[in-house]
Amino acid sequence: MNDDLIRRGLVLLGCGKMGSAMLAGWLDRGVPASAVHVIDPAPSDWLQGTGVAINGPLPDNPAIALIAVKPQMMGDALPALQKLGGGETLFLSVAAGTLIASFEAAFGSDTPIIRAMPNTPAAVGRGITAIIGNAHATPAQLDLAEALLKAVGQVVRLESEAQMDAVTAVSGSGPAYVFHLIETMTAAGIRQGLSEDLALQLARATVAGAGHLAEVSGEAPGQLRVNVTSPGGTTQAALDVLMDAETGFPALLDRAIAAAANRSKELSNG
């Protein structure tokens, strides 16, 4: 892990589900507990057992301050970090819907800031996070942010902050779409005569296995679909329903993702 980060320290504002997942990943990757300073009003038993500093004095010039509080808590939480603004400390936010401009207003326009959008599979080290920095975030700081976020999954870099709404709609909210798919597959299996436990096991394993295959196979999703589909067979019968131009997945998911992206824009604009 980055020597400068270990020497100067890391501040984590908020240690809920996402903050805890990231902290666990950092500690597993070799960041010493002594280098981490956590601000959290209700530290969990797990957090207190990690050996990190909790709610104590902050280092004067930490390498990075990661903001992992809910957007509605920003007003109360950010003052704890204001003294770090305008210097060499990189601010990294994983708070949904909060624009870089909001952090520049809080910490100073010359403060290096990176906005990130992770998703909940980060809790098991299988997340994906998109990042974008402001004009004061250096290439080295972007590399540092990427290294930290890779502790909980993949990282991609955006070309502009405007892309963050689409990222939120596809990958930020996306796990919920997949969980709902598992729910509906399970319910459909029950209606076809399976027990609830068996239908749920089949649906979970099928979605997880297919997702892993899509990641590692090197083939396009469309080709993987073709590989499973025999002309005139059972899969084709199902796909005729799912791929219907008006009522199937293409139109439904297009509307769903557009709705999520539009809501993201509304929240970001206040």
Q: What are 146-172's pLDDT values in tens digits?
A: 999 999 999 999 999 999 999 999 999
Q: Which pTM does this prediction carry?
A: 0.91
Of 221, 226, 254, which Cα lies nearest the Cα of 239?
226
pLDDT for 46: 96
Tell me the two tokens of residue 49.
Answer: 């057992």
The larger pLDDT score, comparing residue 199 to residue 17, is at 199
Residues facing 129 on adjacent strands: 155
Whether 25 contacts 68, CB under 8 Å:
no
* CB contact burial 11-36 (16+ within 10 A = b; e otherwise): bbbbbeebbbbbbbbbbeeebeeebb
Tell me the two tokens of residue 138.
Answer: 């250096």
Region 188-216: mean pLDDT is 98
pLDDT for 3: 81
Distance from C-alpha of 229 to C-alpha of 219, rounded to nearest angstrom: 15
pLDDT cut 70: percent of the chain above it: 99
Write the pLDDT tens digit of every residue in 207-259: 999 999 999 999 999 999 999 999 999 999 999 999 999 999 999 999 999 99
Is 87's pLDDT higher than 80? yes
**Domains present along the chain, CATH in parentheses:** 3-166 (3.40.50.720), 172-268 (1.10.3730.10)
**Helix, strand, or coil here: 85?**
coil
Write the pLDDT tens digit of every residue in 36-62: 999 999 999 999 999 999 999 999 999
pLDDT for 1: 63
Among 24-28, 176-180, 222-226, the range scoring the smallest mean pLDDT is 24-28
Is 29's pLDDT higher than 90? no
